[in-house]
Every structure is written in C-alpha cells, then in structure tokens.
Structure 1
Amino acid sequence: MTTDITPGGPAPLAGIKVVDLSKILAGPYATMSFADLGAEVIKVEHPEGGDPTRGWGPPFVGEDATYYLAINRGKKSVTIDLKSEEGQRLIDRMLEDADVVVENFRPGSSLQKIFDYRELSARHPQLVVLHISAFGEEGPLRDEPGYDMVAQAAGGLMSLTGEPGGPPMKAGYAMGDLGAGLFGVIGVLSALVERARTGRGQYVTTSLFECQLAMHVNWATNYFADGKRPHGLGSAHPNLAPYQAFPATDGYFVIAVGNDGLFESLCVAIGRPDLAVADAFRRNRDRVENRERLAEILSEAFATDTVEHWVTLLKQHQVPVSAIKHLDEIYDDPHTEAIGMIGTVEHHTGDLRQIGFPVSYSGVRPPLRTAPPRHGEHTREVLAEFTPTLTS
C-alpha cells in the first residue's frame, strides 16, 4: 500500500474500516488518528445525547463543545442503541467488513458482556478489537472507573508534578487519556501487521494506568537503583542540571543543558567561565548533586535582564533555550505556520481550525479531511446498506 498522503489521494490506512464504540478522550483520540491516516471511521453514539464530550463546554461552536470537536474529525456519526437487539444486529452486520473495533466499556458492564471478544471473533475472525480501560484486565482495581485525573493520581504523575513541598499538580495536558490513546494506536497497528501474516485479528488491551507506568521511564529506573521515593522538582530534571525554568526581569525561560560542553557554553555566555571548572559543577553528576546551589547562582545572574535578552544570547552560544510560550503565541508563530501543524476543515458553522497529525510521510503531512460530525449526521447514509427502508 502506498504511503502517499495527498488531498484526495491514497493514505497508509486507506481501505481500513474502524468501528468506534468509544467515548470521551482516549478512544476517540485513537480513532481520530486512524481517520487522519486514511481509515474509514464510523463513530457509534447513543441516540440520546451521544458522546458526553459534546457537552463539555463552554466554549461551543454551534451545538457542540470544542472539546468534542478537537478529537472527532474525519469520522461519520451513526446513532445506535447498543443495548437494543436491533442495535446489536446492526453492529454485527457492520462488523462483517470491519477491520478494527475500538471500545472503552467498563469491565464487567453489560456492554462488555454483549460485545465479548470471544463471541465477536468467532463470527468475525478478522477483527482487531482495542479495549481501553482505566486500570487493566487483571488486579484488584480492574473494575474501577477512571478519568484522566484519576490516572494521573493513581499512576504517579501528580506526585512528580509541582514544586518541592508544594501541593500535587496534574499535567496541563490529559496525559492519562492521551497516553492510552497513543499506545492503543501502536497496539492496533502492530496487530494489523500481524493479521497480514496470519489472517486473524486479536484482542488488544491497554489502560490509562498501564500507560502512566510505561511513561515513568527514567523515574522508575532511578527508584529501582537507589530506593529513594521520587518527588516533584518543579521544572527541574531528576538526572540533569541545569535543566529547568529560570526567572528573568519580565518572565520565565528554560534552559536544557544535556552535557558538560553545553554547560561550558552557558557559563561563557553569562560571563562566569569559572563555574565550568569548579569541582562542584564541572561534571553533570556534580551539578545534579549541587543543583540547589547552582540554581541560586544562575537565578541571580538571570535576574538582571529580560527573557528576550537571555534567549537571544544563549542561542548565540548554542545553548538550548526557549521562552515559555502561551498557546496564542505558538499558534501565531512563523515556525508553527511553516511546518503546517494547523489547518482548517469545513464545518457547518464555517471554517474550523484544528491541530494536525504530527507525523509526515515523505515530507507530506496527512490532510484534515472532514469536520467532526454532528450527532447522527451519517446514520441514514451508513445504515442504508443494512436497513434499506432508511433511504425511502
């Protein structure tokens, strides 16, 4: 299959049909990714209200909250009551030529029992089913419900976020849900590759909790090595220094010193070459052990001028540095425009700006194909194949 991605042309997942039975964020983010890559995605919603995120506002654009609009482009919306016999019959017909099903039914719920994978695979052996839960398939928490903040708390992220001694903080992004969505995408794509060899689909599972643990990476190995309970370091890094935010006269900026050579360049830039040869700071391990003292020295130096001054100067010395930007500044930045990460889709209210897919293929980014669908917008179109009376 070609990997050309041109408007109206073939795409990596062209020909793949996804039935999206999920709601909220993790599942819909995964299925939007499939849609961006060219799959046909049918979003199945309850006839009364649909995906709850349609009401997660303000702000709203038309009748839908922007939260919903952010994660559902490229899909077709079909309204079906999954608990009704007719609804189950329609879904079963729909799965006859489907490749992927994504669902986040609560473990032990009636819907999970209705759409049991063993029964689905017996009738539709080609199906790859992705199940996203809060805490996974086993263990004492398996039946617990969960939202992103619960995952951030239970999975450790909140204990590592915030200033030392301060209150716990959640990440600004929904890292619990988004992490599970992204790992779910990886799971489905690898299962499709295996299906190409074996001809059979499989049951792919992930959870918000598991994905939080997967993203501990260096925090986990630090703890396994020394047994010390990790805690929040503000903007600082547990294994590098200086690697954090510093205050200037008019705001904050960050520096990321990842090796001793960069530290030497930083010291030369601020007129303190002596720091680079001092025993307390010469090597990264020394700087990490003496991070508080080093931060005090650097903070005193940076407090003498503006963010723009320091960013300009440190860039001249090849020190990784950035002002801390707000979203409006990022969206208006020439670099954001140059890489084409923001596009528009034709929504019934007018042009709708969207953040694009963050991967390019041979230099081409997947196009934004269609707007997030209105509730039940494609019910008649999609179900006409199975219920001809809908066309009359």
Structure 2
Amino acid sequence: MQGILEGIRVLELGQVLAGPFAGAILADLGADVVKLERVEGGDDARHMGPAFRHGDALNFHVFNRGKKSVAIDLKSAEGMAVFERLAGEADILIHNLRPGVTESMGIDGPSLCARHPRLVYCAISAFGHTGPLAIQPGYEPLIQAFSGLSSINGGPDDPPMRTGASVCDQGTGMWAVIGALALLQRRHVTGRGGVVSASLLETALVWTGQKSDAYANEGRQPDRHRSGHPGFVPYEAFDTADAPLLVCCGNDRLFAKFAHELGRDDWIADERFATNRMRLRHKAELLAQIGTLLRASTRDEWSARFAAAGVPCAPVHTLPEAIAHPQVEALGMLQGVPGEDFRLTALPLSIDGQRPSHRSVAPRLGQHNAEFGAPAVPSKEGSTHA
C-alpha cells in the first residue's frame, strides 16, 4: 500500500501550505514528489517560525515530508531548461504561485499541456481561475473573511472569527489531489492530461454551502451557535462541575434517554420539550435547566452515564488531551519520521487497513539537484540547504 502511487512523478512549485499539502498527500501515497524551490531561501515555509530541525521551521516539515528538493532559478535559461525537462517527465504538476506568474513565464496550464499533452496540471489560486478577482493573491484569513466563513463562526454575540485550522488552504490541497487523480484515470482512457483549477475561495464556499444554500433557497440567514446546531436541541456543549461536555440529541428517542439520566422524565411528556420542533421554540428555557443539572457532577461522571445509556456525548478536549486519548493513540495518526526524533500527523485514511506512513524527512533546500541534473546550489553560511 505504501507504494500505491509508485511510478507517478509529481512536480511541485508550492509555497507555504495549499500546494505543499497537495504534494505531501501524494508523497505519502507513494508518488515521487520533486519540489522546485527558489535558490535563495526556498519555500517561505522554511522560515515560518524558529528553526525546528535542520534549520527549517516545523511548518515546513509538516507539509513537505517525503519529498525531494531541487532549487533552480526559473528566471534563467538554464533553470527553465531544467524545468521544461522535468515537466516533460512528470505525470502531475502542482503550483500555487501568485496569479499571473506562470502566464508571464509561459508555463501556465494551457501552454504547458500543449507542449506536454500527458501532463495533469493543477493550478491553485486564492480567488479562482476566472472572474474580476482572479488575479488577486490571498491568504487563509482573507479568504475566510471574504467568503463569509468567518461570519458563521462563534456565538451570537461574538465578532466574526476565523477557524483555528487552515481549512481553506488544506481543503484546496485536497481538492487539487482529487482532481489530479480523476484526470489520471481519464488519461488511462484518452492518453491526455488536462488542467485542474482549485482555489481557496471555492473551497470556503463549499464549507459554507449548507448555510449559503439555505439563504439562496429559503432566504434564511444562519444563526450562530458556538458549539450548537440550528436544527437540534440539545446539541451543544455544556459546563459540568469541572470541564465542558458536548451532548448531541439528534432525535426525540435520544432526548428521552438524556432526560432520564438527568432525572427529568417529566420533560418527555411536557409539550414544550416532547418533540425537537417544540424544543427549538423553547430552547433557551430548556438549556438553562440542563446547564444547572449538568454542573452538579463532573464531566467524567456524566460521560460514563450518558455512554451507558446510549446518549452521544464527548468531552471538549484540549489538544494535549485529544492526542493522549487511547482512541487517538490506537489510530496511529501521529507517526515517527524515519531517521528523526519527532512525529508528524499522518494522512487521515487507511487502505486495506493500513495507514500510509511518512517516507522521509522534509528535504534540505536543493538536496536533490544532482539527482535531477540541476546545477548545484551555492552553499552559504547559515543557509538551510545541503
């Protein structure tokens, strides 16, 4: 399984996150991923934070494990010759360069695919491949703000806020991989590649789709619930005697079990609370009563009781609590990097029961120039390259 994409060559011109994450997915699945970097400094992610290992920041290691690095100057004739040769040998090309850059260099999707018809070309942008903002650059928080994603996070009295994870960057990397694999399948039939276009904005609009579709079709603006849900009550986090607990009663049967564990069987017959639609009408009144009852015992005590009764619930973990949990440990999501003393999160999928493992540490800048016939990178004191 580790070599499921063995024999597939990927050329990545990726910076920081979306493009490199797409490359990391393909590398973990066994593809030979060659990361092209600037001779001076390389991927900006190498310097996103203090040096972690080998002079590079942890962020760089997270999104560039298992790759090879070739550092070339794409503004030089020699560098472009190396690029053109590597593009001709590649199955997939991924880039998230600033809009307009590839066109100015003659290596945009239509141009490069005309020269190399079997190439699957994946272009990642901020605002999309068409429209009045197509040439605008962008970053995760900008796209979350622009797309409306920030406006649906948090509670009713909170200001708009971004999600804690880079869901647009990483999600766009995922869509690029999905599109690339789809075009590889088509190439088996037609012999030709094609161009995949993905963007942070389109990804954000998919993540907000449930809310925006409700507005587009029913005129409903989304309510903000923090941990809650617009369609079910109770379906959110509550404080207990020591730590928060999230409870999900997705139907009236589960609510009846929940009420029984709280010693409030009377709620089941109370017309205000008997059905979910009535609970939605009387939400504030019910939640206030639930909150008082749950604060009488600890999170672990309630969790044990609800789990035994079949009521879906979960502790609101901190990150240290989550990664130390036996379930997370059993999944083996944190995996060691070969030859190194640290672990990184692995791909969230298994094939035939086996999770793809990290193949190697992130490369030093220009570490593999000789292997791919590129000129050596001049060594400088304090630089990150070999």
TM-score range relative to shorter protein: over 0.9
Secondary structure, in 3 states, of the residue corresponding to 1:351?
A: coil
Aligned to 1:371: 361
Amino acid aligned to 1:325: H
Amino acid aligned to 1:126: R
CA-to-partner distance for each residue in 1:219-266, whole Å, 9 max, x for gaps?
123223431322422111122221111111212111122222111111
Q: Which piece of structure 1 moves more, 50-59 or 159-168?
A: 50-59
Secondary structure, in 3 states, of the residue corresponding to 1:245?
A: strand
**Partners of 2:326 and 2:372 in 1: CA distance:** 41
Amino acid aligned to 1:331: I
> Does 2:142 match 1:150?
yes
Q: Displacement of 1:52 after TM fit?
A: 0.6
Aligned to 1:79: 71
Q: Displacement of 1:342 after TM fit?
A: 1.4
**Partners of 1:288 and 1:73 in 2: CA distance:** 48
> Does 2:36 match 1:17?
no
CA-to-partner distance for each residue in 1:65-99, whole Å, 9 max, x for gaps?
11111111110011011222211110110112210
Pick the aligned partner of 1:167 from 148, 151, 159. Answer: 159
Which consecutive unaligned segments of at least 5 residues does structure 1 have? 6-10
Q: Which piece of structure 1 moves more, 117-126 or 56-65?
A: 56-65
Pick the aligned partner of 1:327 from 292, 311, 319. Answer: 319
Tell me if the contact between 1:105 and 1:111 (Cα under 8 Å) persists in the aligned partners.
Answer: no
> Does 2:305 match 1:313?
yes
Q: Displacement of 1:113 after TM fit?
A: 4.2
**Partners of 1:132 and 1:38 in 2: CA distance:** 22
> Does 2:204 match 1:228?
no
Aligned to 1:290: 282
Amino acid aligned to 1:382: F
Name the TM-score, length of structure 2 as normaliser: 0.93
**Partners of 2:4 and 2:54 in 1: CA distance:** 32
Pick the aligned partner of 1:357 from 347, 353, 356. Answer: 347
**Partners of 1:288 and 1:31 in 2: CA distance:** 45
Q: Displacement of 1:158 after TM fit?
A: 0.7
CA-to-partner distance for each residue in 1:314-355, whole Å, 9 max, x for gaps?
1111111111112222222222221211111135xx322011
Secondary structure, in 3 states, of the residue corresponding to 1:322?
A: strand
Count of paired positions: 377
Aligned to 1:267: 259
**Partners of 1:33 and 1:152 in 2: CA distance:** 23
**Partners of 2:354 and 2:16 in 1: CA distance:** 30
Distance 1:84 1:26, change over 3 A: same
> Does 2:86 match 1:102?
no
Matched-pair identity in %? 39
Secondary structure, in 3 states, of the residue corresponding to 1:369?
A: coil
Aligned to 2:272: 280
**Partners of 1:172 and 1:120 in 2: CA distance:** 37
**Partners of 1:220 and 1:114 in 2: CA distance:** 38
Aligned to 1:8: none
Amino acid aligned to 1:150: L
CA-to-partner distance for each residue in 1:15-69, whole Å, 9 max, x for gaps?
1100001111111111100001110000111011111111111362341111111
> Does 2:62 match 1:66?
no
**Partners of 1:120 and 1:70 in 2: CA distance:** 30
CA-to-partner distance for each residue in 1:176-198, whole Å, 9 max, x for gaps?
11111111111111111111111
Q: Displacement of 1:101 after TM fit?
A: 0.3
Pick the aligned partner of 1:248 from 232, 240, 244. Answer: 240
Which consecutive unaligned segments of at least 5 residues does structure 2 have? 379-386
Secondary structure, in 3 states, of the residue corresponding to 2:335?
A: strand
Secondary structure, in 3 states, of the residue corresponding to 1:346?
A: coil
Amino acid aligned to 2:260: V
Secondary structure, in 3 states, of the residue corresponding to 2:338?
A: strand
Secondary structure, in 3 states, of the residue corresponding to 1:238?
A: coil
Secondary structure, in 3 states, of the residue corresponding to 2:59?
A: helix
Name the TM-score, length of structure 1 as normaliser: 0.92
Secondary structure, in 3 states, of the residue corresponding to 1:19?
A: strand
> Does 2:208 match 1:216?
yes
Secondary structure, in 3 states, of the residue corresponding to 2:337?
A: strand
Secondary structure, in 3 states, of the residue corresponding to 1:244?
A: strand
**Partners of 1:122 and 1:234 in 2: CA distance:** 49
Tell me if the contact between 1:18 and 1:40 (Cα under 8 Å) persists in the aligned partners.
Answer: yes
Q: Displacement of 1:111 after TM fit?
A: 5.8
Amino acid aligned to 2:67: K
Pick the aligned partner of 1:239 from 231, 235, 238. Answer: 231
Tell me if the contact between 2:338 and 2:358 (Cα under 8 Å) persists in the aligned partners.
Answer: no
